Structure 1
């Protein structure tokens, strides 16, 4: 199997695994905010509370995370799609286009996130073209009721509640 075929197959595999959408933020030594959209996030442990995030090697956000030893994980709500797209675009002025506040881990995206975890970096290991960052949660900020933004099959969606239903289901947002 060719390398190009493997990459296509891997993209197809992961597109079929819907996941939540976050923006990982940090601050450089000079105090400049950095951030990138991240769907590679999972809980590792409750004690101590630890998250795992995977960030692209060579990204200014990863550099800021490693240099500062801290990061914020902004879990986006269903109205956060434009923020997810902005922070996935590489636009250099992204922090000029969204409201944010400074915080211990990194900038809090106060209008796009439903919950934010400020973290300290415990470990960082390069794996292929990404770095796996173990982040110990030091503070959680809840901004509004969770209505998480999801991403799968190359589309955004969200969980929605329907009156009278005892369950939630996935609606795609185009």
Structure 2
């Protein structure tokens, strides 16, 4: 039998942030563009594989950010998995929206035409949105992977990680 949890046991925002911050994650930049071609994007550590058949992944996007409405309207996005030299990009896409794409090199992806961070990502995936699931202050975005690309020879640049409020790289 399951015992109900009492309301006073709900974690505070700071306690939950500390808990999740102690669990390192890979770092990605999620990118899309509006109908006029203006790029939008954000730094993301809430990313995981979902399905192999069909290939799907999920990302969590903040409801108050500028990217989610554009991503939903476009129906597509890129996932740029950052390598160890991509910390500058991670910081830029976590900062003010107006400065994000002006500080990184990018080009249109071959299938969707959406932004690929050419110097900061070791791999990318182009995705079509298959479902949006509201979840409190975020939205879970499920994307079917249409195309993947590795940008550097395997092992050349280790993945960028984030945890305990700092960036790190995968050990050699």
TM (norm. structure 2) is: 0.89
1:16, distance to aligned residue in structure 2 (A): 1.3
Aligned counterpart, 1:119: 127
Aligned counterpart, 2:17: 11
Structure 2, gaps ≥5 residues long: 1-7
Aligned partner of residue 101 in structure 1, secondary structure: strand
Task: Name the CA distance, whole Å, in 1 between partners of 2:23 and 2:146.
Answer: 29
Q: Does 1:138 align with 2:146?
A: yes
Task: Name the CA distance, whole Å, in 2 between partners of 1:88 and 1:35.
Answer: 9
Q: How many pairs align?
A: 160
Task: Name the CA distance, whole Å, in 2 between partners of 1:107 and 1:137.
Answer: 15
Task: Name the CA distance, whole Å, in 2 between partners of 1:133 and 1:43.
Answer: 12
Divergent runs of 4+, >2 A: none
Q: Does 1:38 align with 2:44?
A: yes
1:90, distance to aligned residue in structure 2 (A): 1.9
In structure 2, the CA distance between the partners of 1:91 and 1:65, relative to structure 1 (3 Å rule), is closer
1:160, distance to aligned residue in structure 2 (A): 2.4
Aligned partner of residue 23 in structure 2, secondary structure: coil
TM (norm. structure 1) is: 0.88
- For residue 87 of structure 2, the aligned residue among 72, 81, 87 is 81
1:154, distance to aligned residue in structure 2 (A): 0.6
In structure 2, the CA distance between the partners of 1:23 and 1:38, relative to structure 1 (3 Å rule), is same
Aligned partner of residue 108 in structure 1, secondary structure: strand
Q: Does 1:148 align with 2:154?
A: no
Aligned counterpart, 2:34: 28
Task: Name the CA distance, whole Å, in 1 between partners of 2:22 and 2:89.
Answer: 23
Aligned counterpart, 2:53: 47
1:31, distance to aligned residue in structure 2 (A): 1.1
Task: Name the CA distance, whole Å, in 2 between partners of 1:38 and 1:26.
Answer: 13
Aligned counterpart, 1:94: 100
Aligned partner of residue 160 in structure 1, secondary structure: coil
RMSD over aligned CA atoms reads: 1.5
C-alpha deviations, 1:113-160, integer Å up to 9, x for none? 000000000000111100000000000010013510000001111112
Contact 2:66 2:97 in 1 (8 A): no
